[in-house]
Amino acid sequence: MSRQYIDCREYPSTMNCSVALSADNDKELLEAAVQHAVAVHGHSDSPELRKQLASMFKPGTPPLTAQAKAA
Ligand SMILES: [Zn+2]
**Residues with a beta carbon under 5 angstroms from ion ligand 1:** 8, 17, 19
Question: How many CA atoms lie less than 13 Å away from 27 in the CB half-sphere?
Answer: 1
Q: Report how far residue 23's alpha carbon sits from residue 53's, in angstroms, rounded to the nearest whole number.
A: 14
Res. 53: pLDDT tops 60: yes
Residue type present at position 31: E
Interval between CA 59 and ligand 1 midpoint (Å)? 18
Q: Which stretch of DSSP H or E encloses residue 58?
A: strand 58-59
Interval between CA 47 and ligand 1 midpoint (Å)? 18
Q: What pLDDT does 71 receive?
A: 44
Domain positions in the chain: 4-59
Contact present, 62 and 19 (Cβ < 8 Å): no
Q: In this predicted model, what pLDDT tens digit does every residue of 3-47 receive, in sequence order?
A: 999 999 988 766 889 999 999 999 999 999 999 999 999 999 999
